[in-house]
Amino acid sequence: MNFLDAKRIVAEFSGGPELRLLLALSGTGEPMELFVKAAAAERGLTAKLRLLPFNTLQQALLIEAIPGEREVFLLLPWDLVSELDWRSGVPAERLDPAAALESADRVLARIAVRPTAAIVYLPAPIPAAFADQPTHHMAASALAARAAQAGAHILSADSFSLGTYFASGMPVAARAMGPVGKAVVELASAPKLEPAKLLISDLDNTLWSGVIAEDGVDGIGWGAEGAGYRHFVYQTFLRRLKGEGVLLAAVSRNSPEVALAPLASGRMTLNENDFVSVVASYHAKSAQIKELARQLNLGLNAVVFVDDNPVELQEVSQLLPEVQCVAFPKHDDGLPAVLSDLNRRFGRRELTAEDRNRTELYRRRLEGMVPQAAEGADLHAFLRDLRMRLILHDRSTGDRARAVQLINKTNQFNLNGKRVTDEEVGAALASGGRLFTATLEDKTGSHGEILAALITGQGQMTSFVLSCRVFQRRVEHAFSAWLAEQSEAPVSMEYAPTERNEPFQIFLRDPAFGAAVAGPVTWDAGRYAREHSDDLALFELVTQVPA
């Protein structure tokens, strides 16, 4: 999130419950204010932020907390050991490491007794104030370790910029203000963290790389190589948590037999028995998680949910704000921070024999699969913020290789599972048919060409597929609403149920469609367009389709 993004988010936010917050740092905090407000707005909260006057952190620790105000202390090494402040230069005398750590302990003890305080620690480089390099490194590491022991959220060291600190007294690098603001709001809006007890993980592109319903057991990655590497490490981490009494569960938008296949294969680090439950359905993950916590008799604030998909995370955090949502990293380099964050959320774990058997105890408590009838969150506000752009292409002439590939590799959102050859598509087009595709872009970048639809000259849709990468973004509804308004809108769809196309079966439950039995399904295009105009409005539509 850059400055202008943050400004826009705050300007467009219509308001929500107040989050009264003291952001306590010794340096200049004002530039952080906008980013904290934007991060709060993204969580539906109106931040009422208070900052300390410059260089008054130590004094503030001697004053009682204001009732009803959450406190987040953004600490740097020199807040723990004042002689380490770059702005004062390097101390004339070398520092005693033991005395430095005693100073750190005194500061952290003062924060620990404050009723609502949380700590964010920025392990900025420290000046060469100790006798030698080994002592220097030991002292820097020990300060971070002391902060971590006090429950601090540890930022990456590159969140600090000496240039910015010299220029303005602001210790947070401008590039890190968005993530730091987010961490501050997350800590301030969470209930005072009790150690979590249940980790619920997504499966596709989280527990393993790839999409099981598309790639099959042999096509996904979980081993210590290639695309599966970070998922392998994640699984080994979950295995350790489980061994220490943390309960594991999984939720996935899949059918149960498809989702369980890799876990039952016996080839992965984790297997089905490591989980108290694996919930697989196409219903909202918030509903699955809520029901699972109820059955396990756990409060929702004891639940950590890990998913790679920001839309799923938003859906859960919107409906279940008590659940701690963690994004699985999209790149290997993001893994250490995520595992460290998860480790922190599960706190210090004292091992007992019961801990080691806890999964089995809870498995016995659960009976059958979790019912998932509840509705998910209305994500329109979140989706609008993604600033999605749908580019519609007419592939009736020219290159159609990606469209044919998409039709032949997509299993879940697939009208009928029918595979087609390029020649067959060519013949349909030669007889007056039309082939449409769509490319999706949003503020994070391009998702590529993710949709294809083939309509015969007689107005029958014979192929309609959407990549599972962009589920939950209403793309299928927006495209269909657009198509419904075109002169070549299909009058029916050549539908067939398959073992894997449940997402399409759910799509067909829309009242604008006739009964979804195998064969031609009729479509009231006018009604569909009317009832899905709000989905269409989520997108900036770019049509590269001849009129």
Partner 1 sequence: MESTEQRLQAIFRAVLELPPGSDPATAAQGQTATWDSMAHVSLMAAIEADFGVTIDAGDSLSLTSYEATRQFLADLGV
Work out how close the CB of 18 gets to partner 1 at its nearest, in angstroms, rounded to a whole number: 23
Residue 394 CB neighbour total at 10 angstroms:
15
Nearest distance, CB of residue 6 and partner 1, angstroms:
8
And the tokens for 210?
A: 């790839």
Nearer to partner 1, 170 or 481 (CB): 170
Tally the residues of the chain. 547
Amino acid at 83: E
CA distance 228 to 233: 9
Question: Residue 181's Cα: distance from chain center in Å?
Answer: 16
The answer to whether 248 touches 259, Cβ cutoff 8 Å, is no
Region binding partner 1 by CB under 8 A among candidate stretches 77-85, 157-165, 240-248, 527-535: 157-165
Give the whole-angstrom CA distance, residue 305 versus residue 289: 9
State which of residues 178, 376, 433, 490 lies at the interface with partner 1 (CB under 8 A).
178
Please check whether residue 360 is in contact with residue 247, taking contact to mean a CB–CB distance below 8 angstroms: no
Nearest in space to 48 (alpha carbons), one of 68, 19, 73, 72: 19
Q: Does the protein bind partner 1 through residue 170 (CB under 8 A)?
A: yes
Which amino acid, 150? A
CB-based burial, 272-293: b 16+ in 10 Å, e otherwise: bebbbbbbbbebbbbbbbbbbb
Residue number with CB closer to partner 1 (180 or 466)? 180
Q: Which residue in 48, 58, 59, 166 binds partner 1 (CB under 8 A)?
A: 166
Distance of closest approach, residue 126 Cβ to partner 1, in angstroms: 19
Contact status: 389 vs partner 1 (CB under 8 A):
no
Q: Is residue 52 within the footprint of partner 1 (CB under 8 A)?
A: no
Rounded Cα distance between 418 and 493, Å, is 13
Identify the H or E element spanning 275: none
Q: Does 387 bind partner 1 (CB under 8 A)?
A: no
Which residues have C-beta within 8 Å of that of residue 383, sequence separation ≥ 6? 311, 473, 474, 538
Total binding residues toward partner 1, as defined by CB under 8 A:
21
Decide: is 101 part of the binding site for partner 1 (CB under 8 A).
no
Cα–Cα distances in Å, from 459 out to 157, 183, 380, 404? Answer: 60, 52, 31, 19
Q: Kindly state whether residue 444 participates in binding partner 1, applying the rule CB under 8 A.
A: no
The binder of partner 1 chosen from 139, 144, 147, 177 (CB under 8 A): 177
How far apart, in whole angstroms, are the C-alpha atoms of residue 441 and residue 449? Answer: 9
Q: Which of 4, 63, 113, 353 binds partner 1 (CB under 8 A)?
A: 4
Residue (54 or 109) nearer to partner 1, CB: 54
Token digits of residue 9: 């988010």
**Residue 168 interacts with partner 1 (CB under 8 A): yes or no:** yes
Stretch that binds partner 1, among 30-38, 356-364, 415-423, 485-493 (CB under 8 A): 30-38
How many beta carbons lie within 10 A of that of residue 511, not counting itself? Answer: 9
Q: Does 31 bind partner 1 (CB under 8 A)?
A: yes
Using the contact rule CB under 8 A, the part of the chain among 173-181, 252-260, 317-325, 354-362 near partner 1 is: 173-181
Instruction: Tell which positions 284-303 bind partner 1, by CB under 8 A.
Output: none
- Beta carbon nearer to partner 1, 184 or 316: 184
Residue 161 sits in the site that holds partner 1 (CB under 8 A): yes
- Nearest to partner 1 of 13, 504 (CB atom): 13
Choice from 167, 224, 506, 517 touching partner 1 (CB under 8 A): 167
Q: How far is the CB of 54 from partner 1 (least distance, A)?
A: 10
> Which residues of this protein are in contact with partner 1, per CB under 8 A?
2-4, 7, 28, 30-31, 34, 161, 163-164, 166-170, 173-175, 177-178
